[in-house]
Copies of this chain bind each other. A is one copy, B any other.
Amino acid sequence: MDRTETPCGLDVALLVIGGKWKPLILFHVQDGPTRFSEIRRRVGGVSEKVLIQQLRDLVEMNVLLRRDHHRVPPVVDYALTPFGETLVTALAPLCEWGTVNRERVSAMRESTAMERNALVG
């Protein structure tokens, strides 16, 4: 086996959901069509410009479906495609891992931050 090859399809998955916000976006639209403003509120901390680009990427990759309801003021919403649903299913164990390890990860981040402060203090 050529060891420069990725040993699995993780590189492909990262092409689709790489980036800070995309996995979170998918989870925040999984209950059905969700308006842009609501996605922004749920994801939290993302700029409008960045969110627009991330949504556009996900639509281009056929993970999300964008619907423009042609109203004034504009109503646009986003929903998972069937392809996007398979991706959310594949992400589920990672969610569970995070839920199980939430306190542990928080504690490690705090102790790391404390060590850094001690070094500069």
Contact = CB atoms under 8 A, between A and B. Distances in A.
Interface of A: 3-4, 6-16, 18, 20, 23-24, 27-28, 30, 38, 41-42, 44, 60-62, 83, 86-87, 89-102, 104-105, 108-109, 112
A92 B93 CA distance: 9
A23 B98 CA distance: 15
A97 B87 contact: yes
A94 B13 contact: yes
Number of copies of this chain that the complex holds = 2
A28 B8 contact: no
A61 B105 contact: yes
B9 A101 contact: yes
B109 A15 contact: yes
Nearest to A57: B112
A62 to B, nearest CB: 6
Contact of A10 (B42, B60, B86, B91): B91
